[in-house]
């Protein structure tokens, strides 16, 4: 449980999110218009682990990418555990600094990619009325789909590695999806 989902809470949230996905309750968080995407914006709570790492992977693929947190202090660095996990994956997060959504300009053509269903719903509420952006769950590009990508902050190295591998896989598949959509 701890290696696969981080905690029992992560396992429960993952199970509930998969049930919601199967029941069609997450249809609003699927990518509808890949051809309209100009930039990908990865969103999590603190913008120091998951979204920071996903942004780094996307940048290496040549994607226009940014990352933000829903509840963070702009300027906060990634914690040592995230730095070490990223390094094990061949990435460097030392220069990353968190950005709170309130300090970020959401642009037309942005695809906001949430790590958790509750993050996607918070984005829906905060950005209500914006028809020039899209909100999706990044984990839907995992194989199998993982609509809940639990926060690795303060958790084991094994779960950090599992989480970052899922993020890498999802970003690579998203890149392929967007490349086909732009063609």
What is the rounded distance in angstroms from the CA atom of residue 29 to the CA atom of residue 31?
A: 7
Q: Which residue has the tokens 């509420």?
A: 125
User: What letters, b where the CB count within 10 A reaches 16 and e where it falls short, cover 149-172?
Assistant: bbbbbebeeebbbbbbebbbbbbe
pLDDT digits (tens, 9 = 90+) for 13-72: 988 999 999 999 999 999 999 999 999 999 999 999 999 999 999 999 999 999 999 999
What is the rounded distance in angstroms from the CA atom of residue 178 to the CA atom of residue 12?
A: 31
Note whether 165 and 146 are within 8 A (CB): no
* 61 vs 181, residue with greater confidence: 61
Which pTM was predicted?
0.94
pLDDT of residue 48: 97
pLDDT digits (tens, 9 = 90+) for 120-166: 999 999 999 999 999 999 999 999 999 999 999 999 999 999 999 99
86 closest CA partner among 54, 44, 112: 54
Q: Which residue has the tokens 């998203």?
A: 174
Q: Strand pairing of 134-137 and 39-44?
A: unpaired
pLDDT of residue 75: 97
pLDDT of residue 110: 98
What is the rounded distance in angstroms from the CA atom of residue 73 to the CA atom of residue 84?
A: 21
List phi, psi (to 5°) of 7. Answer: -150, 170
pLDDT of residue 1: 60
pLDDT of residue 182: 60
pLDDT band at 5, cuts 50/70/90?
Answer: confident
Q: Which regions of the chain does DSSP assign to beta strands (E)? A: 39-44, 65-69, 110-114, 134-137
What is the rounded distance in angstroms from the CA atom of residue 183 to the CA atom of residue 171?
A: 18
Q: Where are the domains of the chain?
A: 2-182
* Distance in Å from the first CA to the final CA of the chain: 41
The CATH label, of 3.20.20.60, 3.30.70.330, 3.40.50.2300, 3.40.190.10, for the domain at 2-182 is: 3.40.50.2300
């Amino acid at each position: 449980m701890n290696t696969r989902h981080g905690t029992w809470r992560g396992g429960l949230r993952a199970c509930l999110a998969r049930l919601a996905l199967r029941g069609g309750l997450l249809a609003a968080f699927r990518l509808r218009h890949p051809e309209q995407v100009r930039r990908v914006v990865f969103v999590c709570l603190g913008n120091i682990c998951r979204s920071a790492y996903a942004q780094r992977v996307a940048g290496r693929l040549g994607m226009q990418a940014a990352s933000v947190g829903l509840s963070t202090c702009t300027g906060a660095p990634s914690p040592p555990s995230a730095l070490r996990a990223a390094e094990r994956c061949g990435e460097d997060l030392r220069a990353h600094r968190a950005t709170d959504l309130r300090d970020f300009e959401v642009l037309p053509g942005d695809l906001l990619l949430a790590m958790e269903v509750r993050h996607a719903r918070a984005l829906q509420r905060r950005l209500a009325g914006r028809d020039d952006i899209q909100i999706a769950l990044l984990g839907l590009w995992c194989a199998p789909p993982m609509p809940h990508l639990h926060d690795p902050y303060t958790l084991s190295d094994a779960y950090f590695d599992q989480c970052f591998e899922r993020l890498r896989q999802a970003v690579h598949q998203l890149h392929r999806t967007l490349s086909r959509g732009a063609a």
